Amino acid sequence: MKRFTHCKEYRYSKRTFLSLVFFIFLAFSEKVSAQNTVLSGKVTAKSGKPIAHAILRVYESGRGTTADSSGHYSFVHAAGKFTVSVSSLGYKSEKHTVTFLKGKEITLNLVLEDDAKNLEEVKVSGSRNNQNGLRRLGDVENMAIYAGKKNEVLVLGNMNANLATNNSRQIYAKVPGINIIENDAAGVQLGIATRGLNPNRTTAFNTRQNGYDISADPIGYPESYYTPPTEAIDRIEIVRGAASLQYGTQFGGLLNFQFKRGNPDKKIELVSRQTGGSYGMFNSFNSIGGQVGKFNYYAFYTHKQGDGWRNNTNFNVNTGYISGSYQISPRLKIGAELTMMSYLMKQPGGLTDIQFEENPQASYRNRNWFQAKWTLPAVTLDYQIGDRTKLNIRSYGLIAERGSIGNIVDLLKDRQDTTTRRQLTYDNYQNFGTEARILHRYALFNKKASVLVGARYYKGNTHRVQGTGFNGSDANFSFPNAEKVDEFDYRFPSYNAALFVENVIWLNEKTSITPGFRYEYINTNANGYSHDPKTNRDSSYVQQNIRSFPLFGIGINFAVAPESEIYFNISQNYSPVNYSDILQRSPKFKVDPNLKDVTGFNADLGFRGKYKDWLNFDVSTYYLDYNNRIGIIRVASDDGLDVIRYRTNIGRSRSLGVESFAEINFTKLAKKDSLYGNLSLFGSFAYTDAAYTSAFDKLLTTLIVDKQVEYAPKYISRVGLTWQKRAFSTTFQYAYTSQQFTDAYNSPPTADGLVGPIPAYGLMDWSANYSFKKMLFGLTVNNLTNNKYFTRRALGFPGPGIIPSDARSIFLTVGIKI
């Protein structure tokens, strides 16, 4: 039989294409280009070590840039004689007088001395600590405004973590409040959230790669089946709910994976990392990159496979990426990239509480499979319109599919009979989006200011079918009757357009205010049919939901000291009803036909920065309002003979709490010589009080009001100790997550394992890395004490029931860089 696919031609927006042509034509205007020059170079320490993320500013104009992770920088400026300052935490600041010549390119390599305070410019650009893999975004950085917003930047190159398995406990350890669902041991599907939001496949975040969307459909189905390989990532940018105005309306905020670029100092650089470990785990990462003239390129391929700790488990993942950028002129740079990913996973299914206690490694299903294929093309354009004005355009597409097949009924029976029915669900996604941003720096009443104006257009098309698949136990994702499936067949076209503006104004050297506005247009549609097996009849379904609305926000920064600041932000959020919310998946599952979108806001008040050279900190409190919360309740069937699960807007919830992080460098505190090595201790702690405040049904009021929100543990803490000496570094970490519930009733465990609490758990992880010349050696032990725990109860795939997490596992990495 032919596998079901959706083969409609992938179309692009004519209006967007014409706009892109116009901006490219504008970019080639030599009349404007000839008035400016490019200043580029590299920032290093006296030892020759590159200084990552150093800050460069032109004193007279306020323009500047931030060096990348290898110390390189480049920016365009008007002609003339100016003073350029450079600063970085832990180094003495410097100033240089530079003459910018019209139409010329100037190289200025900078060498900084150790152990000094930062320049005063840090008060404007924000505290930019980078200790053991963590820093923060500047007020204005990467064509975006972050002033007043709670954010973290995870720098992967400075981190001791198991990158081969994308271990979330280690990678996100310094981001307070990250709650993790472990969908698989290999890190194929990421599941994280904060502030009482659902972590399943990271749906609460606006998930991006290099600044563009990578989820299945960010408007109607924001689940992330593709996770960028961590070994290829330069940094991960996280901005909490205040990112809603610039990036998308999601309550969780922004999660952006920024890939590495080719080494600008080499024409060709090769990196190869091979990792082997417990339960047949093997990961091969290989990359090539470099700079040839004005052309920078980077590409990688990674293969991952393993058998898994539990029975009836295996996975096979392949991911490839290629990118290139070309500096056409001092003012214009264009780029293109392509990502391709595919994986096939055998899933062992869920367990009841009794089965988990008896043997969490057991599996009673050998017929459940999941696959996904992701293709992401993207093009970018950066154009320096003037000395203080820059344009960025990103256009991207998504051609993808995902499928699941298996037996997810008869929960308490043996599910390995190859003659019983298997349910097959298959999706196809064909999306296109483009986003344009203009960043302009100007003076307002003799005060420095920056305004960001942006526009977004998105078109999505999801096609989902579900019905009876082939019997047997193989990974067959075809329908016996491809012309007409026997459960449902739906198409979900979606359209989204948005305009947004944010403006940061420095009232004085210590205080800035950042008002923002976003206007959103969302048009979601559904059309198709569902089949009723009892009556053997089809029911057609056609729905269109058009809405447009404004969102507002404001942020405030106040510099308490040159390297510390108080920040405040309040921003509105919005979450459309997902396609998966309106689908009826089984006879014992019903959906409210009048589901409403979720509305609310995020507010943050915090204090962050550093004290001298030995303390890095960020302590904040937050409030999240979440109205029209969608959840599942239990109701009687129409005939009163059965209990069914009913998805509806169950009420309003609020989350309030504390998110704190601190890292102490004992070596600098004691003012000891680095010959003894560098010893530091970090801790992240989050307290979340997420509870229902009202219900839309009188009966529900007595059942859920004041109850804890699902997947909202009250306490999440992670503590780690890192010691580094020359080429050796090691980190020991302990992570604790308190009890959380899986339904609005805070129910005790049920016999089928679908609902009930997730008990508190604490885990230890250890990693060590040693580099010798061009070689790298790494050793990681996860779940050091071999704890028995789980992070999820699934109603459907990959369960249903409890999904146990892995026992102790050991991984060895050998790498080489040429």
User: Model confidence at 641, in pLDDT bands (50, 70, 90)?
Assistant: low
The answer to whether position 287 is within a domain reads no
Is the separation of the CB atoms in 397 and 10 below 8 Å?
A: yes
Residues paired with residue 424 on neighbouring β-strands, in sequence order: 405, 467
Q: What average pLDDT does the segment 149-169 reach?
A: 92
Question: What total number of domains does the chain contain?
Answer: 2
Q: For the chain, how many helices (H) and strands (E)?
A: 7, 43
- The pLDDT value given to residue 133: 81
> Please, which residues have CB within 8 angstroms of residue 562's CB and are 6 or more apart in sequence?
117, 118, 120, 122, 123
pLDDT of 364 above 80 = yes
Same domain, residue pair 104 and 247: no
pLDDT of 3 above 50 = no
Same domain, residue pair 465 and 614: yes
Same domain, residue pair 600 and 706: yes
The answer to whether position 217 is within a domain reads yes
Q: What average pLDDT does the segment 12-26 reach?
A: 43
Same domain, residue pair 99 and 243: no
Q: What is the pLDDT of residues 498-538, one digit of tens each?
A: 999 999 999 988 999 999 999 999 999 999 998 887 788 88
Is the separation of the CB atoms in 41 and 75 below 8 Å?
A: no
Residues paired with residue 134 on neighbouring β-strands, in sequence order: 131, 154
> Please, which residues have CB within 8 angstroms of residue 9's CB and are 6 or more apart in sequence?
none
- The pLDDT value given to residue 157: 87
Q: Which helix (H) or strand (E) holds 292?
A: strand 281-292
The answer to whether position 41 is within a domain reads yes
Same domain, residue pair 626 and 711: yes
Measured between alpha carbons, how far is 128 from 113 in angstroms, rounded to an integer?
A: 18
User: Model confidence at 7, in pLDDT bands (50, 70, 90)?
Assistant: very low
Q: Which helix (H) or strand (E) holds 565?
A: strand 564-575
The answer to whether position 133 is within a domain reads no
Measured between alpha carbons, how far is 520 from 781 in angstroms, rounded to an integer?
A: 46
- The domain that contains 326 carries what CATH number? 2.40.170.20
Domain, as residue range, for 93:
34-119
By CB neighbour count within 10 A (0-12 exposed, 13-18 middle, 19+ buried), where does 512 fall? buried
Alpha-carbon torsion 203, 205, 210, 212, what sign? positive
By CB neighbour count within 10 A (0-12 exposed, 13-18 middle, 19+ buried), where does 322 fall? middle
User: Model confidence at 60, in pLDDT bands (50, 70, 90)?
Assistant: low
Single out the residue of 253, 151, 246, 137 nearest to residue 192, CA to CA: 253
pLDDT of 54 above 70 = yes
The answer to whether position 286 is within a domain reads no
Same domain, residue pair 114 and 226: no
Single out the residue of 571, 469, 21 nearest to residue 243, CA to CA: 571
Measured between alpha carbons, how far is 392 from 141 in angstroms, rounded to an integer?
A: 13
- The pLDDT value given to residue 179: 97
pLDDT of 248 above 70 = yes
- The pLDDT value given to residue 59: 67
- The pLDDT value given to residue 298: 98
Q: Which residues of 58-71 are buried (b: 16+ CB within 10 A; e: fewer)?
A: beebbbbbbbbbbb
Q: What average pLDDT does the segment 168-197 reach?
A: 94
Q: What average pLDDT does the segment 119-130 reach?
A: 35
- Picking from 119, 145, 173, the residue at the C-terminal end of a domain is 119
pLDDT of 11 above 80 = no
Q: What average pLDDT does the segment 242-266 reach?
A: 95
- The pLDDT value given to residue 36: 63
The label of the residue with tokens 């392949």 reads 318
Measured between alpha carbons, how far is 791 from 350 in angstroms, rounded to an integer?
A: 12
Q: Which residues of 775-791 are buried (b: 16+ CB within 10 A; e: fewer)?
A: ebebbbbbbbeeeebbb
- The pLDDT value given to residue 22: 43
The label of the residue with tokens 């593709």 reads 226
User: Model confidence at 21, in pLDDT bands (50, 70, 90)?
Assistant: very low
Single out the residue of 199, 206, 203 nearest to residue 221, CA to CA: 203
Q: What average pLDDT does the segment 374-386 reach?
A: 96
Among 75-84, 235-244, 468-477, 717-726, the least confident range: 75-84
Same domain, residue pair 701 and 807: yes
- The pLDDT value given to residue 390: 95
The label of the residue with tokens 């899986």 reads 742
What is the distance, to the nearest Å, from the Cα of residue 497 to the centroid of all Cα atoms in its chain? 22
Residues paired with residue 285 on neighbouring β-strands, in sequence order: 273, 302
The answer to whether position 96 is within a domain reads yes
> Please, which residues have CB within 8 angstroms of residue 671's CB and are 6 or more apart in sequence?
none
The label of the residue with tokens 């570094």 reads 729
Single out the residue of 608, 683, 685, 686 nearest to residue 138, CA to CA: 608
- Picking from 119, 138, 155, the residue at the C-terminal end of a domain is 119
Most confident region among 62-71, 322-331, 635-644 by mean pLDDT: 322-331
Q: Which residues of 209-239 are buried (b: 16+ CB within 10 A; e: fewer)?
A: bbbbbbbbbbbbbbbbbbbbbbbbbbbbbbb
∠ Cα 183 188 191 (to 5°): 45
The answer to whether position 285 is within a domain reads no
- C-alpha distances out from residue 588 to 468, 643, 755, Å: 17, 7, 15
Same domain, residue pair 608 and 522: yes
Q: Is 186 left (phi over 0), alpha (psi -120 to 50) or beta?
A: alpha
∠ Cα 189 129 573 (to 5°): 50
Among 188-197, 386-395, 528-537, 548-557, the least confident range: 528-537
- E strands, 592-714, in order: 598-611, 615-636, 643-665, 678-695
The answer to whether position 650 is within a domain reads yes
Among 7-21, 249-263, 655-669, the least confident range: 7-21
Same domain, residue pair 92 and 200: no
pLDDT of 540 above 80 = yes
Provide the residue type at 740 as one letter: Q
Please provide the average confidence, as pLDDT, over all residues in the chain: 88
- The pLDDT value given to residue 96: 87
Same domain, residue pair 81 and 216: no
User: Model confidence at 122, in pLDDT bands (50, 70, 90)?
Assistant: very low
> Please, which residues have CB within 8 angstroms of residue 90's CB and are 6 or more apart in sequence?
114, 115, 116, 613
Single out the residue of 612, 618, 581, 613 nearest to residue 596, CA to CA: 581
pLDDT of 31 above 60 = no
- The domain that contains 57 carries what CATH number? 2.60.40.1120
Q: Which helix (H) or strand (E) holds 668?
A: helix 666-669
- The pLDDT value given to residue 191: 95
Q: Which residues of 479-493 are buried (b: 16+ CB within 10 A; e: fewer)?
A: beeeeebebbbbbbb
Q: What average pLDDT does the segment 447-457 reach?
A: 94
Q: What average pLDDT does the segment 54-58 reach?
A: 81
- C-alpha distances out from residue 108 to 43, 53, 59, 217, 604, Å: 9, 16, 16, 44, 40
Same domain, residue pair 245 and 111: no
Strands 36-45 and 110-112: parallel
Measured between alpha carbons, how far is 37 from 75 in angstroms, rounded to an integer?
A: 8
Q: Where are the alpha helices (DSSP H) in 28-107?
A: 30-33
- Picking from 119, 153, 171, the residue at the C-terminal end of a domain is 119
Return the higher-pLDDT residue of 302 and 124. Answer: 302
pLDDT of 475 above 80 = yes
Is the separation of the CB atoms in 747 and 756 below 8 Å?
A: yes
Strands 134-135 and 151-155: antiparallel
Measured between alpha carbons, how far is 652 from 694 in angstroms, rounded to an integer?
A: 5
Single out the residue of 630, 639, 637 nearest to residue 579, CA to CA: 630
Instruction: Report phi then psi at 292, rounded to 5.
Output: -120, 105
pLDDT of 85 above 80 = yes
- The pLDDT value given to residue 271: 97
- E strands, 484-536, in order: 488-506, 511-532
Q: Which helix (H) or strand (E) holds 817?
A: strand 809-817
- The share of the chain scoring above pLDDT 90, in percent, equals 66
Q: What average pLDDT does the segment 470-490 reach?
A: 91
Measured between alpha carbons, how far is 24 from 29 in angstroms, rounded to an integer?
A: 9
Same domain, residue pair 108 and 243: no
Q: How close are the terminal C-alpha atoms of the chain, in Å? A: 48
pLDDT of 18 above 50 = no
